[in-house]
Amino acid sequence: MKAQSLSDRIYQQYESQEGISSFSFSKSMLDAIDITTEDEKGNLHQITGDLSQIKFISQSYSEELNDDFFHSVQNLFENYKYEKVDIDSEQNQKEDVKVYVQRKGKYITEIHLLAKNIGEGSLVSFYGKLVTNELCAISTALSIDACEHLNKIR
């Protein structure tokens, strides 16, 4: 039995609370989605990274609970020594998005996008053996608007 990760504990802690919506895509669901990217010349390329799971949780109950959710999750990631990706953009000033990654060798094994919008907060997590230059294509194929933030990961 594998040890429960920090992100597993976060999802487990929040998913049953009032005002919380959550869902996940399993590996078998993700394998059924054709994820391709287009290069500068218009050539399509199949994504080769191994995406094993995507989880999403959103809090839309109240602004006060949103602040608690955002700061609590942010503190957990920072205290567990996840690598914080520096995102400095005008758009991020409005959205207040934090990106945390965990690496194993040349791969990224976890990416977490923590967003605090007015009245709503969310956490989107990607798991697998991920390659940085394919992250935007993955989020686009899944209709997750995160390219601006994912392109900052190197």
Q: How far apart, in whole angstroms, are the C-alpha atoms of residue 132 and residue 110? A: 11
CA 49 – CA 129 distance, rounded (Å) = 6
User: In this structure, what DSSP letter does residue 5 have?
Assistant: P
Indicate the domain borders of the chain. 6-150
pLDDT tens by residue, 14-67: 888 887 888 898 888 877 766 666 656 776 666 656 788 889 998 876 655 556
Q: What confidence tens digit (pLDDT) does each residue in 58-85 have?
A: 887 665 555 678 888 889 998 987 888 8
Return phi, psi of residue 41, to 5°.
-90, 0
Tokens encoding 61: 């109950």
- State what percent of residues in the chain have pLDDT above 70: 60
- Which helix H or strand E contains 9, and what residues bound it? helix 6-14
Q: Are 148 and 43 in contact (CB under 8 A)?
A: no
The DSSP call for residue 144 is -
